[in-house]
Structure 1
Amino acid sequence: MSGHDEDDHDETAPGEEHRGGSGFAAIQVYLLGLLLATGLTVASFWIAGSDLVWGPAIPAALLALAVAQIGVHLVFFLHITSGPENANNSLALAFGVLIVLLVVVGSIWIMGHLNHNMMPMDQMIRMQR
């Protein structure tokens, strides 16, 4: 033994629930998540409303901040971490993302093909007369 007790240092991921810890430690994790989420929201509004970011780069900056905020919510509020006990949660999240992507991309694909294959509106109106 090295003289260190296993409980002396905390080896949990940022959003992982602390086992046997105090309620105050859990509140600190939620408050840190709230602070980060609020900061990312304020940064998004600031980028959208200021002229400091090049105009065409604003959507990319907002997308990056949105992805960062998704990460904050997953880790600090939903407690999705890379630990072995969270494998089922991570797989369920990945499956949900896959289903949403299939629905969104499939809908856009179908609407694009419908638009391409439909008769132009002026010709449809002439046929109805």
Structure 2
Amino acid sequence: MSEERREQAHGEADSAPGEGQDHDTIAGGVRGYAIGLGLAALLTAASFVLVGTHGLIWGPGVPVALIALAIGQMGVHLVFFLHITTGPDNTNNTLALAFGVLICALVLIGSVWIMAHLNHNLMPADMMRGMQR
């Protein structure tokens, strides 16, 4: 018995929650996308309920809860829609995702750094007023 068959027989095959043994069939694919859609809608509704109802969570904890829901939303999209798993056939997808995250982080950090240092390069207001006269 091959190693892959042995893993499938024991239920240890590496598959994402959105991918069962029937993920190659149309019904299995639709079922995976439907589960992902339901989870994404549930997480989106939860974030709207969280913000819309005051007193549900302690005030300063709301941003933390929203961040947790956003991370869960990203996980649902990665697994159910982008099919990013830990399987050996997904190495290129994982590397592409990591590279995209790196580029986004560099753009974000660079933008924040530039905005934080804008005042350093600007002319003082009184000097600018003197030039306009």
Give the TM-score of the pair, scaled to structure 1.
Answer: 0.84
- Is the contact between residue 48 and residue 58 of structure 1 (CA under 8 Å) also seen in structure 2? yes
5+ residue gaps, structure 1, are none
Structure 1 residues 22 and 46: CA distance shift in structure 2, 3 A: same
Taking only aligned residues, the RMSD between alpha carbons, in angstroms, comes to: 2.5
- What residue is the counterpart of 1:110 in the other structure? 114
5+ residue gaps, structure 2, are none
What's the CA shift for 1:48?
Answer: 0.6
The answer to whether structure 1 residue 100 and structure 2 residue 97 are counterparts is no
- What residue is the counterpart of 2:33 in the other structure? 30
Amino acid in structure 2 at the alignment position of 1:94: A
CA distance in 1, matches of 2:86, 2:7: 24
CA distance in 1, matches of 2:64, 2:89: 34
- What residue is the counterpart of 2:47 in the other structure? 44
- What residue is the counterpart of 2:124 in the other structure? 120
2:80 to 61, 76, 79: 76
CA distance in 2, matches of 1:127, 1:5: 77
CA distance in 1, matches of 2:81, 2:123: 49
What's the CA shift for 1:107?
Answer: 1.4
CA distance in 2, matches of 1:20, 1:94: 25
The number of residue pairs the alignment matches comes to 127
Q: Which of structure 1's runs of 4+ aligned residues deviate more than 6 A?
A: none
Structure 1 residues 42 and 20: CA distance shift in structure 2, 3 A: closer
- What residue is the counterpart of 2:68 in the other structure? 64
Amino acid in structure 1 at the alignment position of 2:109: V
- Is the contact between residue 29 and residue 76 of structure 1 (CA under 8 Å) also seen in structure 2? yes
CA deviation string 1:46-85 (max 9, x = no partner) = 0111121111111111111111101100110011111111
Structure 1 residues 94 and 17: CA distance shift in structure 2, 3 A: farther
CA distance in 1, matches of 2:129, 2:27: 68
